[in-house]
């Protein structure tokens, strides 16, 4: 999630673009919101980054992918 929001917060030399439009900035996280633990300084001050539905779906899809096995 953090990686999607700001790749350089996780890997400083990353050239992956951030997908910030999948996330919502809120002052206060509501019930049921998935809060992204973005490191301090990487998110707007006084705001909480909440994963939107697209982000949740995307991460679910990414996690479902598996390394293909090369069979002889």
Partner 1 sequence: MGFSAIRTRMRDPGLVAAPSVDAATVNVLFEYVVCATVWLLVGTGIGLIASIKLHWPEFLPYSWLSFGRVRPVHTNTVLLGWSSLVLVGLSFYVVARTSRVSLWSPRLATARALALEPGPPRRPRDIAGRGEPAGPRSTANGCGRWPSSWLRPCSSTDTSRTARSAARALPEVYVSNWYILGAFCCLPILYVTSYLPWYQGGLGNTVVQGYYMHNAMGMWFTQLALGISYYGIPRLLGRPIYSYALGVLGFWTNLLFYPLIGAHHFIFSPEAWWLQTTAILFSVGMMVPVWAGTGNLLLTFKGGAGAVRRSYALPFFVTGLIGYGLVLDTGNDRGVPQRRTSTGTSRTSPWGTLARGDVRLHRVHRLGRRLRALAALDRTRAESAGGGRPLLARAGRRRDLRDRDLGGRSAPGLRVGGRSIVHRVGDRRRADVALANDRRSADGEQPRRLRRQRLGDAAAARRRHPPSRRSRSGAQRELRRAAHEPSSHRCGGRHRVLRAHARDGGAARAARAGLPGAGRHQAARTRGGARTTGLHARGLRVLSHAVRARLADGPSVWSAVAAGTTTRSRILRCSAPSARGPISPTWARGSRARPGT
Q: What sign does the CA torsion over 27, 28, 30, 36 have?
A: positive
- Please identify, using beta-carbon distances, which residue of 30 and 72 lies nearer to partner 1: 72
- Please identify, using beta-carbon distances, which residue of 17 and 32 lies nearer to partner 1: 17
> Which residues sit at the interface with partner 1, rule CB under 8 A?
7-8, 14-21, 68-71
User: Shortest Cβ distance from residue 17 to partner 1 (Å)?
Assistant: 4
User: Shortest Cβ distance from residue 23 to partner 1 (Å)?
Assistant: 11
- Please identify, using beta-carbon distances, which residue of 32 and 67 lies nearer to partner 1: 67
């Amino acid at each position: 999630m953090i990686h999607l929001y700001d790749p350089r917060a996780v890997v400083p030399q990353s050239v992956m673009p951030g997908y910030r439009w999948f996330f919502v900035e809120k002052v206060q996280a509501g019930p049921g919101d998935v809060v992204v633990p973005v490191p301090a300084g990487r998110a707007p001050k006084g705001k909480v980054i909440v994963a939107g539905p697209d982000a949740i779906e995307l991460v679910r899809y990414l996690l479902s992918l598996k390394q293909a096995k090369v069979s002889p």
